[in-house]
Structure 1
Amino acid sequence: MAYLPPHKRHPSSTASAPTPNPPPPSLSSSLRSLSLSSPRGRGRVGGGRHPLPSNKIIHAAGCISRWSPLPPFFPSPEDSDGEEPTLRLEPFPCDPIERKTGAKPLALVASSPGQGSSGSTATAVTAIAERFLPDLLAAAKRAKASYAPKEEELVKLNLVARVGKVLFQTQPGRSPVSLETLRQAAKAGEGGSKSQLHKSFYTNVPNECLDDMEQSVVKRMALEFDSSKEHYHVKVFDKHHSDSTISCKCTVEEDGSLAIHKVEWNKVRHLVEDISCLFKDLDLRLMLCTKRILKTLDPEVENALKSLVSSAVIDPDVKGGLRWPLGKESIGERFSIVGVWHTNYKAFRNETLRLKLRHGDRFDHQTSAGEVSNEVTFKLIGMSRRLEDVDPEETSLKEMLEPVVQMVWDNALNYKIVP
């Protein structure tokens, strides 16, 4: 049989195909054209010549990444006087994590709440702001101090709120995650120390959530339509910068070819606050990152990126939406494709807030794993600008943060994630 490269191999015709789950009809036609079944995979690239990063997440030195529940744990079960809600850890179906670990992650779930234990929106908003703001100011100060001005880079602070589900996994060789483990992790977070808790934030929400956000929540938040765009993100490993990945954000030209719109390094995280919202369907993440945009490129890097992008073939039948002819996934020993994203989004905004509803189809070339997701992200653009000031004032930041948290709490956390 003639050799077929991995990206050309089709599953057996006798195998049953997964049933697609179409996105809501109100989203753009380009979004609807994406296949939610992620039908085909591809093999590794680069021939194993050198280790490649995989969707690398970079945490800055001194980054705080912590978790807490709302309402909070009582100091101990004996101190609750019957008011603490009944909590349990429940397996949560999550294909990306199950493929990696072989087991379902766990979510913290509340049932039989005690009288008044759910608390009010005002109570939750105040608790989040009081906990988050002091560390936000400190993290912003560290971030600004860590980046010396460079002519070739534009570095911006980026404060976002995301909705999803906080999930926990047991680490190999360690004790299973338990309620007492979580209680100790929450206590460690309150004290400013790190715990050994292994958590993740799963951001995929149901199609109905995106649809309702677009049709109803945008209006309740008094947001105006901003833009609707489609991008292909080509992730490139540069052996000379092995601690980061280059991301080329590309648009489709009239002739069907790809053109590079923007080139960025990985974002760097400085503060991550994950909150299990026990009487909501979804949880909340607040995160401060630095976004690193490359304004000018070394000629060798620029030529390599243009060559890799121009060689890409748009193919809706492969994961990530792009494939490369055999031998075109790398350039010499230095540059290699490590991943691709195909994203469609709609954005809505006011003067201080930008809501992005995004559908993403991702493929990781190292693991040959794909993932399709719907994501809701609130960009706190007003606060991000204020944090760039030399000495941002905490009171004014609090006055900006609390209304946003309240809007998210009341409007964006009430959707069941159905497997």
Structure 2
Amino acid sequence: MKHMHLFLRRTVFTVLVLSLMVTGLISGNVQAKSANEGFVYYISNDDLFRVGTDGSPSQKLHSEFSGVGFESTHDYIYYTYDWKSTTLLRLSVSDLQAQPVNYSGDKKIVYYETFDNLLYFMDDQGGIYRASSSNQKASEATLIANMADTDYPMFTVKNGRLYYNAIKAGDTSWVASKSADGSGQVQWIASGVFEDSYQVSSNLTTVSIMVNTEPKELNYSIDCMVLYTLPINGGSVEAVNLKSPLDSNAVNAGEWINEYYLYNKGIELDYENDEDYDYTTGKGYLFKKDGTSIRLHKTSIDEIASIGTNKYVFIDGYGKAYVTTIVNSKVTTTKKLKLSDVYYVRNLISKDKVKATVLFAEDGVYMLNENLSFKKIIGAEWDKFSYEDDIPGIFYVNAEDNDRMYYVSEDGKTTVKLADEQVSTIMLITEP
């Protein structure tokens, strides 16, 4: 599965109004590349548009459009009216005259994802289904799992296997797995649930899942997060830290990074700024699959990306960026980058290889070089940005050009204005 990544500027600091021009700017619908490598779908004045990533002319697809939760296959976009809706809609991307249709019909859809050009969805009866583009409605999809846990509707697909929250023995929540085509038996992995698909990680041999073993505890953050591992094709399950579970807030404020799980021990909720967590509290650690931890930073870590086999760039709760090196499970060096008010760090990936590491700061967007120097590729005018694995470059809304959308190449040498319309939201980026 590929996720489109959309992020907004975090307006915590005073916005700098700088009139910066990016080197290599191309205005209008001028081709930046020799061939169109995808489409960007966006909202302007409540209308849905799409434009080619090569700068070809934009096309208006639908007037007075409303929708969230976009997922795509080669032929269709799937979405709902709003985040509370259980009606799954479908819109053709090949027939530009097509209107959205109610794909779910009588079914109430509580969760859905796309993987490998197939749609997977879960209904309120605990059924998980798989559908191809040829299925015209949800009732034609194939049931691949039942007894899914509707209190914790979550699943993901890894290496042809479905991982999902299920009900065992009538009323107990368990993490389960079976073949993604519905064949074979259910493997019961652990009592509890995984709360988001990002808590499931895989490599060539192993699947690793952070499991909340006490999901009914909603009022307090307790030590209840246990790491379970099992072979990629199913098999013997190992509980890594069953006797010393991690705190739920610490884990939920973190993420997988290579073979480590970043967690923020002691992190507190951020009540004043109405955000999930206060990353100035707590301390950042990397949890290893042998159950031990590496202390990474003196405060919690908000963002992290890998820049080599043993190097990581991260952003702490104060918006400062660092590069650290780990050797033999120890932090050997840490270098503070000369940037401030940094919000995000992202790897741009093509065919499973990192093409560029990019940091998004209040005063601009920077590409990190191998020698840890950096190059500004976008000025302070960026307001929202989006990117997609295997589609080159970054797409962003330019606040200094009346919120028009631009493309910038991974090396920062080419910039294209993609849309003349005022863009409120970048909804989706797809391959052609």
Q: Same fold (TM over 0.5)?
A: no
Normalising by structure 2, we get a TM-score of 0.21
Greater strand percent: which structure? 2
Greater helix percent: which structure? 1
Normalising by structure 1, we get a TM-score of 0.21
The structure with higher relative contact order (CA 8 Å, sep 6+) is 1
